[in-house]
Structure 1
Amino acid sequence: MTHALLPSGFHDRLPPDADAAARLERRVLDAAHAHGYERVDPPLAEFEDALAHRLKAARAQDAVRFVDPISQRTLAIRPDITAQVGRIAATRMGHHPRPLRLSYAGSVLRLRASELSPERERRQAGCELIGLDTIAAAQEVVTVAVEALEAAGVTGISIDFTLPDLLSTLAAGPLPLDGVSLDDLADRLDAKDAGAVAALAPSYLPMIEAAGPFETAHDRLCRFDVGGALRSRLDGLWKVAEAVKGRVALTLDPTERHGFEYQTWLGFSLFADGARGEIGRGGSYMIVHEDGSEETAIGFTLYIDAIVAAGLAHDERRRLFVPLGSDPALAAKLRGEGWVTVAALEAGDTPEAQLCTHILADGEVRTITT
């Protein structure tokens, strides 16, 4: 047995990835702060019941649980930070005027991972706007998400919109299911299984056909809008998309529900060129207060590790080697100009050993040629 092994789903973050992750989080939080989002920093673990029931329709099946030796109550390590922000908004900051704008960054832990995403311990950063889930609120949240990614140097951004409660809205109104399980139909729609949908509820097939580029998909959904039941939310979705139109690529998939279990009228996934899978997700949801009342909210979460793994947050490495005997004042001046200086501490030290790209020679910065 070796003491160097880590549990499955865990890994060390090494240079330059750890630096890139810290820089990414800082830029995301700075972009959010510029829009009025103030940071909160909830604890890594808290009482399980507080995490499990704070967001309406959310489940805590992904949480790692253990018994607190002090209180003898079950604690859960957070699998997501949104529920904790909801608790803070409903309790410690319940008196704060709405809308309440909060941001966060930290680690989360999942009980299990998937084959496509084997990491169990991950870093998240994001924003929550609490007290509103209006079109204006959605426009702001989507815009802040895009600006945060752009500030971090991410390019080729795309947004895939969905309408998480669309299926239940149709089933409860113009398109009743007549004995068909809503969950079964949702699973088949999510899998784009047209044959199974045709067997269960053929009137829902246009939802599969509607997925695609935003404007085309939106037009198809408008034609599918039975009795005008979806008109207001489709108009709202169009206005939300217009806030970032021309800035990012836009798609719409009305059948996408996986990962949007507690979202209400709006959900969206974030992607970027070069990244494998999603780099973030957001949407509208409901926070449950202590007295059972509910409060609307909308926000987004960025997946820091996915962005870093794709190399989307790495800056060009510029390290300046400062030989022995160099003027400390000059090195300090160069650091003030943005240089990373690496000072030689012994005679045998070299720029190559310190992974430097430049060297300070005769009072000047010179590029190291290879």
Structure 2
Amino acid sequence: MSDIDRDLLPEGLGDRLPQSAAAATRIMRAILDVMDAHGYDRVRPPLIEFEKSLAARMAGIQPRRMFRFIDPVSLRTLALRSDITPQVGRIAETGLAAAPRPLRLAYAGPVATIKADALDPQRERLQVGAELIGSDGVAAAAEVVAMAIEAAKAAGATGVSVDFTLPDLVDTLATSILPLDPQKIDAVRRELDSKDAGGLKAAGGEAYLPLLYATGPFESAIEKLAGIDVGGVLESRIRGLKEIASRVAGAARLTLDPTERHGFEYQSWFGFTIYAEGVRGLLGRGGTYRISGDAAGEQGGGEAATGFSLYPDPLIDVAANGAAREAVFLPLGHDPAAAAKLRGEGWRTIAALSDADDAATLGCTHVLQGSAATPL
């Protein structure tokens, strides 16, 4: 192995250098501060758990996307987390099982996957989010969507838009006004998700074609969806979507894509995706779900919950390329009390270690003169 190869990092992984790491810390703290202000307490689950615990707690979690290896102590398979949400569910069901509900929890930390997404080459990214355990009703969903928008803006996102979806839509319609052979449901879901009208017809879902057009700006799309709901099967869901939209009106651009399912496999009746200007792909995702279920991670049991996750790495990259942070240069022989006072006021100080140290070279914007920070 050459010296160059020795220092290479695996594809999709990278270092965050000082300015980038500082931006990551500021943005993570800004998001967590929003959630803390809304009464969400932070938890810190471990980076590695038993694969069975991570994969079986919620439907849609894919073990094949996780880095897995054998624990030399227990001889059981461990996995590096690809999503923190199941871990928060485990904490709610175990260590906080007796805590009053609704239980509000927040988290932040790195997650990793074996293979990157098509639009995102990174295999490691920061996940920051919140889970409201014990409720998946309209009030809970509205609280979570509003907080997600606020947190995204606190992280520096602009031009925020939120796309609503109904993850269980096909299942609901297939057993009511649009009967569907159970063997065709997965194919119909897939074609609706890909917005393929021809494929939808071929899959036996021609009756579902109108759903492809109930998309777009929320106000018009929700009326199209209501027009399809001849039997009133979706009445409560439509009413719930309108209530959520009313709660966040004016805070973000709202759209509706009722058949979107990719990434919402473990969501129940409601899901949403957050986008922002200048961010390729999604910025975050959330919705309602149930913790646990049976041993295979199927829905139908467990505790109701509502939550969201933000993936702020694109915002961190933008912030890292911005203006350098202000810092005060402390010359040799400076007054320690004056320097301590500046730090107490929020200044960042960099002390000279020798006569050769130069304020500008060290990235300082000010210099301590007497007891004051003077611009260079």
- Give the TM-score of the pair, scaled to structure 1: 0.93
**Helix, strand or coil at the partner of 1:266:** strand
Q: Deviations over 1:81-126 (max 9, x none)?
A: 0001111111121111211111111111212113321111221111
For 1:129, the aligned partner's letter is L
Range with bigger deviation, 316-325 or 41-50: 316-325
Q: Deviations over 1:275-296 (max 9, x none)?
A: 1111111111111268994111
Q: Of the candidates 220, 224, 232, which is equivalent to residue 228 of structure 1?
A: 232
Range with bigger deviation, 166-175 or 315-324: 315-324
The 1-side partners of 2:260 and 2:131 are apart by 22
Q: How does 1:101-180 map to 2 (within 5 A)?
A: 101-178=104-181
- Indicate the residue corresponding to 2:306 in structure 1: 298
For 1:344, the aligned partner's letter is A
- Indicate the residue corresponding to 1:205 in structure 2: 209
8 A Cα contact 1:53 1:59, kept in partner: no
Q: Deviations over 1:127-177 (max 9, x none)?
A: 000110011111111122122223333322211111111112111221123
Range with bigger deviation, 348-357 or 239-248: 348-357
The 2-side partners of 1:282 and 1:48 are apart by 23
The 2-side partners of 1:227 and 1:216 are apart by 20
- Indicate the residue corresponding to 1:65 in structure 2: 68
- Judged with a 3 Å threshold, the aligned counterparts in structure 2 of structure 1 residues 250 and 312 are, in CA distance, closer, same or farther, namely farther
Q: How does 1:277-316 map to 2 (within 5 A)?
A: 277-288=281-292, 293-311=301-319
8 A Cα contact 1:20 1:314, kept in partner: no
Q: Tell me if 1:75 matches 2:78.
A: yes
Q: CA deviation at 1:347?
A: 1.2
8 A Cα contact 1:56 1:287, kept in partner: no
Percent identity between matched residues is 52
- Judged with a 3 Å threshold, the aligned counterparts in structure 2 of structure 1 residues 294 and 3 are, in CA distance, closer, same or farther, namely same
For 1:175, the aligned partner's letter is L
Q: CA deviation at 1:300?
A: 0.5
Q: CA deviation at 1:8?
A: 1.4
Q: CA deviation at 1:259?
A: 0.7
For 1:276, the aligned partner's letter is R
8 A Cα contact 2:113 2:123, kept in partner: yes
- Indicate the residue corresponding to 1:347 in structure 2: 355
The 1-side partners of 2:273 and 2:188 are apart by 22
Q: Deviations over 1:264-323 (max 9, x none)?
A: 111111111121111111111111268994111010111132331243996762222222
- Indicate the residue corresponding to 1:319 in structure 2: 327
For 1:62, the aligned partner's letter is R
For 1:173, the aligned partner's letter is S
- Indicate the residue corresponding to 2:254 in structure 1: 250
Range with bigger deviation, 323-332 or 125-134: 323-332
- Judged with a 3 Å threshold, the aligned counterparts in structure 2 of structure 1 residues 151 and 289 are, in CA distance, closer, same or farther, namely same
The 1-side partners of 2:277 and 2:133 are apart by 31
- Judged with a 3 Å threshold, the aligned counterparts in structure 2 of structure 1 residues 353 and 316 are, in CA distance, closer, same or farther, namely closer
Q: How does 1:33-52 map to 2 (within 5 A)?
A: 33-52=36-55
The 2-side partners of 1:257 and 1:159 are apart by 15
Q: Deviations over 1:24-66 (max 9, x none)?
A: 1112112111111111111111111111111145433311111
The 2-side partners of 1:56 and 1:5 are apart by 36
**Helix, strand or coil at the partner of 2:268:** coil
Q: CA deviation at 1:229?
A: 0.9
**Helix, strand or coil at the partner of 2:29:** helix
8 A Cα contact 1:126 1:299, kept in partner: yes
8 A Cα contact 1:108 1:121, kept in partner: yes
The 2-side partners of 1:324 and 1:157 are apart by 48
- Indicate the residue corresponding to 1:239 in structure 2: 243
**Helix, strand or coil at the partner of 2:65:** coil
Range with bigger deviation, 175-184 or 6-15: 175-184
8 A Cα contact 2:59 2:265, kept in partner: no
The 2-side partners of 1:307 and 1:136 are apart by 29
- Give the TM-score of the pair, scaled to structure 2: 0.92
Q: CA deviation at 1:221?
A: 0.8
8 A Cα contact 2:58 2:293, kept in partner: no
After superposition, the CA RMSD in angstroms is: 2.1
- Judged with a 3 Å threshold, the aligned counterparts in structure 2 of structure 1 residues 175 and 88 are, in CA distance, closer, same or farther, namely same
**Helix, strand or coil at the partner of 2:131:** strand
The 2-side partners of 1:333 and 1:236 are apart by 53
- Indicate the residue corresponding to 1:32 in structure 2: 35
- Judged with a 3 Å threshold, the aligned counterparts in structure 2 of structure 1 residues 278 and 115 are, in CA distance, closer, same or farther, namely same
- Judged with a 3 Å threshold, the aligned counterparts in structure 2 of structure 1 residues 250 and 107 are, in CA distance, closer, same or farther, namely same
Instruction: Give 5+ residue unaligned stretches, structure 1.
Output: none
